[in-house]
Amino acid sequence: MAGFGRPKYPSAGAPSASTPARYQVTINGLAYGYGATGSQVTAVGKALVAKGFGKHYAEGPGPTWSDADTLNYSDFQKSLGFKGTAAGQDADGVPGAATLAKLLGSVPSKPSAPAAPAFEPFPGAAFFHTGRTSPIVTAMGRRLVAEGCGRYTQGPGPSWTLTDQASYAAWQRKLGYTGSAADGVPGKASWDALKVPAQL
């Protein structure tokens, strides 16, 4: 039913039957209805226009839900056989999950936050120079020690030193690099192989 996912009662101060519904619903973490903003609103507006339900737009559709979106959505709901345009009724112009799926083909979901990387991405060779201080350098040094390549008499610490470079050169040689390819300056392939824990 079109009302799936909407509140049982409209918010206080519900508009009269002659005024478009002005409340919001949240479906799969995304807001729809008057005042909602985001790319999901634009997607609904474009889909309405594509299906011939865009006559109330003077401009747009855009990323903020307006009365025009509500009126166009109500027209779409009525085309599906729903009735009643007062707030909270089946054709009031505020999406429910069922009508949203009919309009878009599926019900969008709010994207989840990307997972934090397990390992520190290669910061680039220029990152490693005298004077550089970063927890990434400490984490790298600890991995070098764990791999048996540490040349530290104390540390490792957060400042890039010649000892870090010597330790990294030992790691490069362990990987089979020779000559200038084992100069102690990290490259992407050797860095990725070291698997330095991500520093958040």
Rounded Cα gap, residues 167 and 90, in angstroms: 69
Please name which of 15, 11, 20, 26 lies closest in space to residue 96, comparing C-alpha atoms.
26
Reply yes or no on domain 24-104 having CATH 1.10.101: yes
Q: Under a CB-based contact definition with an 8 Å cutoff, are residues 72 and 48 in contact?
A: yes
150-183 in b/e burial notation, b at 16+ Cβ within 10 A? bbbeebbeeebbebbbebbbbbbeeeebeeeebe
Residue 13 has pLDDT above 50, yes or no: no
pTM beyond 0.85: the answer is: no
Instruction: Calculate helix-pair angle for 97-104, 67-79, nearest 10 degrees.
Output: 90
- What 8-state DSSP symbol labels residue 173? H
Summarize the confidence of residues 118-131 as an average pLDDT: 94
Residue 3 confidence (pLDDT) above 80? no
Look at residue 65 and tell me whether its pLDDT is greater than 90. Answer: yes
Q: What is the mean pLDDT of residues 13-19?
A: 50
pLDDT-based confidence at residue 4 (cuts at 50, 70, 90): very low
For residues 137 and 123, the answer to whether their CB atoms sit within 8 Å is no
Q: What is the pLDDT of residue 1?
A: 40
Look at residue 109 in the predicted model and tell me its pLDDT: 84
